[in-house]
Chain A
Amino acid sequence: MSEQSQFSIRHTRPARAAFALRPLLWIGPAIALIVVVVLTPVVVMIHSSFENIASDGFVVGGAGFSNYKYLWHEPALKGVVFRTLLWVVVVVGVTLVLSLALAQLFNQRFPGRRAARTMLILPWAASVMMTALIYRWALDPYSGAVNIILHALGIVHRMGSTQADWLGSPGWAMFWMMIVAIFVSLPFTTYALLAGLQTVPSEIYEASRVDGASHWQTYRSITLPMLRPAILVATTINVINVFNSFPIIWEMTRGGPGYETSTTTTFMYILKQAFIGESAAMSAVNFLLVIVVVLVFLRVAGWKEQVDQ
Chain B
Amino acid sequence: MSAITTSEVAAGNARVRVPKRPRERALSRRTFLLSIAAYGVAALFLLPYVEMVITSLRPSNQLLAANLLPTHFTFKNFTTIWSTGFGGNLIESLLIAGGATVLVLLVSIPAAYYTARHRFRGRTMFLLLVLATQMFQPAAMIVGIQREFSSFNFSPTLSLILVNAGFNLAFAIWILNAYFGSIPVELEEAAMIDGTSRLGALVRVTMPLAAPGIVTALIFTFIAAWNEFMVALTLSLGEGTNHVPITVAINNYIGEYSIDWGHLFAGAVIATIPVIILFAVIEGRVVSGLTAGSIK
Contacts and interface: CB of A to CB of B under 8 A. Distances in A.
Given A48-B144, A125-B279, A143-B66, A246 B38 contact: no
A109 B28 CA distance: 11
Contacts of A110: 31, 34-35, 38
Contacts of B37: 105
Interface in A231-264: 233-234, 237, 240-241, 243-247, 250-251
A20 B278 CA distance: 41
B91 interface: no
Contacts of B278: 125
Interface residues of B, number: 95
User: Chain A interface mostly helix, strand, loop or mixed?
Assistant: helix
Nearest to B277: A125
B162 A41 contact: no
A109 to B, nearest CB: 7
Contacts of B55: 137
A120 B121 contact: no
Contact of A29 (B107, B115, B122): B107
Contact of A287 (B103, B113, B140, B272): B140
A100 B108 CA distance: 33
B143 A133 contact: no
Interface stretch (A76-84, A166-174, A192-200, A206-214): A192-200
Interface string B141-163: 11111111010000000000011
Given A26-B110, A192-B287, A192-B295, A120 B41 contact: yes
Interface of B: 27, 31, 34-35, 37-39, 41-43, 45-46, 48-49, 51-52, 55, 63-68, 103, 106-108, 110-111, 113-115, 118, 120-123, 125-126, 129-130, 133-137, 139-148, 150, 162-163, 165-167, 169, 173, 223, 226-230, 247, 250-251, 254, 261, 264-265, 268, 271-272, 275-276, 278-280, 283, 286-288, 290-292, 294-296
